[in-house]
Chain A
Amino acid sequence: AQSVTQLGSHVSVSEGALVLLRCNYSSSVPPYLFWYVQYPNQGLQLLLKYTSAATLVKGINGFEAEFKKSETSFHLTKPSAHMSDAAEYFCAVSGWYNKLIFGAGTRLAVHP
């Protein structure tokens, strides 16, 4: 069975600081992995996805994630946080019929 664990339900950073949101997955087959962002009172927006090509994936808004098979991880990073990055972030792995198995989410707060 596939599963996703996001470490840290809440992360707080200063504006300009590094953002690191952690995601570990479990999958019996080569995984396809996704990061979604949800801004307050909005729907889900795809940030980036890993589909077995390059292990370092670049997404929108300056975010990137690195697939590490040995660590079963797909952590999301951004070198310099902006106030507008405050949102909830979800890591997900794709299963049968494109079913997405989501982590519990990490709420990112960015303070001045």
Chain B
Amino acid sequence: EAQVTQNPRYLITVTGKKLTVTCSQNMNHEYMSWYRQDPGLGLRQIYYSMNVEVTDKGDVPEGYKVSRKEKRNFPLILESPSPNQTSLYFCASSDPGSTDTQYFGPGTRLTVL
């Protein structure tokens, strides 16, 4: 089954404690993205990757890092989380072509105390 998986699904942590949210897709897609969803703001892109070892900033990259060492994986790293990073995070993947549907993961709800 074609899918995007994220782990963990829920996470409560404290300010400053490094964490990683994993994302994996089994569709051999070239493009992958991370979005955060906040009430009244919709979803905003954090980072994206066009292929292995090729990443770039989205609209709200501050406080986040990513890596793309393998085509299927695109982890999101928060080196020093802060309360303003409390949000719902979605990973997405797709192939080149604006008409292509993006496949979204189930989401990770992060709370930073």
A100 at interface, CB cutoff 8 A: yes
Q: Which 5 A-B pairs have the closest CB atoms?
A: A102-B42, A51-B99, A94-B98, A102-B43, A44-B104
Contacts of B97 in A (CB 8 A): 98
Q: Which residue, A46, A98, A103, has most C-beta atoms of chain B within 10 A?
A: A98
User: What 1/0 mask marks residues of chain B from 73 to 113 whose CB sits below 8 Å from any chain A CB?
Assistant: 00000000000000000101010111111101111000000
CA distance A36 to B97 in the complex (A): 19
Q: A32-B99, A43-B90, A43-B107 are in contact. Are A102 and B44 (CB under 8 A)?
A: yes
Count residues of chain B with CB under 8 A from any CB of chain A. 26
Cβ distance B92 to chain A, nearest Cβ, rounded Å:
8
Bound CA span A57–B94, Å: 21
| A contact set with B: CB distance below 8 Å | 4, 9, 32, 42-44, 46, 49, 51-52, 90, 92, 94-95, 97-100, 102-105
Interface residues of B in 13-40 (CB under 8 A from A): 31, 33, 35, 40
A98 adjacent to B98 (CB under 8 Å):
yes
A46 and B2 CA atoms in complex are apart in Å by 15
CB of A83, distance to nearest CB on chain B (Å): 23
